[in-house]
Amino acid sequence: MGRDQMLLRSLLFVPAANGRALEKSDGLPADGLIYDLEDSVAPEAKDEARERLREHLGKSRFAGIRIVRVNPLVLREGTEDLLMARGAGVDAVLLPKVEGADALNEAARALDEMDAPAKLRLWAMIETPRGILKAEKIARKGVRGRLSAFVVGPNDIRLATNVRPGPERTELLPWLMQIVLAAKANGIDVLDGVYGDFRDAEGFARECDAGRRMGFDGKTLIHPSQIAPANAAFGPSDAEIAEAERIAAAFERPENADRGVIQIDGRMIERLHLTEARRVLAQRDAIVARSATN
């Protein structure tokens, strides 16, 4: 599946130490699951959580993409997590607290040494001041290896900076947009951070809408109740699909075959809008296909 068809609207963190959550996650309609071996697992429970996850992944029937968030590779746990993820055949490994391209190079080298297939991608959490400052360099150098996505980590950003974002996240906007821009400049995906107050449906919907307007491809989640609203916010609306169909149909008419620009209801439509329309229609088709697997 190409990048344009890959659905990344909703990525749910599932704590690998929680057997009930692992079991439940299999049937959830998230586009992806991020099995967490890092922050949600207590230091003394790391080995047990990894074994639990290994066993779970061996029998999991989840239909979306599967990602494992490993511990930092400088730790023994991180290296063992990476080995487990490679053996389990997941789609990506998420590295925490990435602050430079070296961390990605090292992970890519380790995966090469494990003969991991090229389709096993690396995702990077950008969640420290240094990571934010170096986001562009990390993306630029990372794509030469296996990097394919950035994930924002608002809790660690808060911990490291003391910034206390309000409901609109105004205080974080320059940093978030820097991360988005770094990702887009290098052709990788970028996922918005988690919203911790999982009972606040209104606040969550507002943050999803803002995230989509900012250019994020989807949102990371902590609770199953956040999946449906994230899918709705980051998927195309009925109006966007109807508009995309009109644009595609207009350019298919013989009289427009050689035209670079046309008008629809008094609005200028160029071929770049056709590219965008095709992307919307591909996403619609991918959503229909994904729904059929639930």
Ligand X SMILES: CC(C)(COP(=O)(O)OP(=O)(O)OC[C@H]1O[C@@H](n2cnc3c(N)ncnc32)[C@H](O)[C@@H]1OP(=O)(O)O)[C@@H](O)C(=O)NCCC(=O)NCCSC(=O)C[C@H](O)C(=O)O
Residues at the interface with ligand X (CB under 6 A): 12-15, 20-21, 24-25, 36, 39-40, 125, 127, 153-156, 193-194, 222-224
Q: CB of 40: closest distance to Mg ion in angstroms?
A: 10
> Which of 96, 142 has the CB closer to ligand X?
96
Q: CB of 19: closest distance to ligand X in angstroms?
A: 9
> Which of 176, 247 has the CB closer to ligand X?
176
With CB cut-offs between 5 and 8 Å by kind, which of Mg ion, ligand X, none does residue 15 bind? ligand X
With CB cut-offs between 5 and 8 Å by kind, which of ligand X, Mg ion, none does residue 189 bind? none
Identify the sign of the CA torsion 67, 73, 76, 82.
positive
> Which of 74, 159 has the CB closer to ligand X?
159
> Which of 10, 186 has the CB closer to ligand X?
10
Q: CB of 22: closest distance to ligand X in angstroms?
A: 7
Q: CB of 37: closest distance to ligand X in angstroms?
A: 10
120-179: which residues touch Mg ion (CB under 5 A)?
Answer: 127, 153, 156
What is the 3-state composition of the chain as percent helix, strand, coil, each rounded to the nearest 5? 50, 15, 30
With CB cut-offs between 5 and 8 Å by kind, which of ligand X, Mg ion, none does residue 145 bind? none
Check if the beta carbon of residue 53 is closer than 8 Å to that of residue 22: yes
Check if the beta carbon of residue 204 is closer than 8 Å to that of residue 232: no
Q: Which residues in this chain contact Mg ion in the complex, by CB under 5 A?
A: 127, 153, 156
